[in-house]
């Protein structure tokens, strides 16, 4: 058995397709768990999920994933990796990319963006202006 560590925000189904007389059908599909770093509402407050997830896969599925174009792209970008032992995904995620661009903003993200915008305004960058159709 192998394990796939993922820092993607959502589960991802990697599929292999067969085309027969113009009809595409799935030949094989391997689903890798996601949900890393997504803020969720739990018990009336926002709770951050772990920074990575781990999915156990067979040796055959791991070999298939290692040749799959979409998986290879995610691997090159640092969002997934195949490991031989069931390591703690949080520890493995320290050396991986954390933001695949689909994660929702957390309160700390919004605060950091507001502070960055305030710093720009103090530096003399003009503030954003709302333009309507009437102004054109």
Q: Where exactly are the structural domains of the chain? A: 2-125
Q: Give the CA count within 13 Å in the CB-facing half-sphere of 116.
A: 6
Q: Give the CA count within 13 Å in the CB-facing half-sphere of 121.
A: 9
Per run of 10 residues, the mean pLDDT along the chain (length 136 residues) is 93 93 92 84 69 93 97 95 89 78 70 80 67 64
At 78, list the tokens. 């640092």
At 48, list the tokens. 């951050």
| Residue 41 pLDDT | 66
pTM of the predicted protein model? 0.69
Are the C-beta atoms of residues 80 and 5 closer than 8 Å to each other?
A: yes
């Amino acid at each position: 058995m192998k394990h796939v560590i993922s820092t993607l925000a959502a589960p991802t189904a990697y599929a292999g397709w067969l085309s027969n007389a113009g009809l595409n059908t799935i030949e094989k599909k391997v689903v890798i768990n996601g949900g890393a770093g997504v803020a969720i509402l739990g018990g009336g407050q926002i709770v951050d999920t772990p920074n990575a997830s781990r999915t156990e896969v067979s040796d055959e599925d791991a070999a298939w994933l290692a040749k799959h174009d979409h998986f290879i792209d995610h691997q090159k970008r640092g969002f997934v990796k195949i490991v031989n032992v069931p390591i703690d995904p949080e520890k493995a995620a320290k050396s991986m990319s954390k933001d695949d661009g689909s994660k929702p903003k957390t309160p700390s993200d919004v605060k950091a963006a507001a502070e960055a915008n305030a710093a720009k305004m103090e530096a003399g960058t003009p503030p954003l202006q709302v333009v309507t159709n009437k102004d054109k």
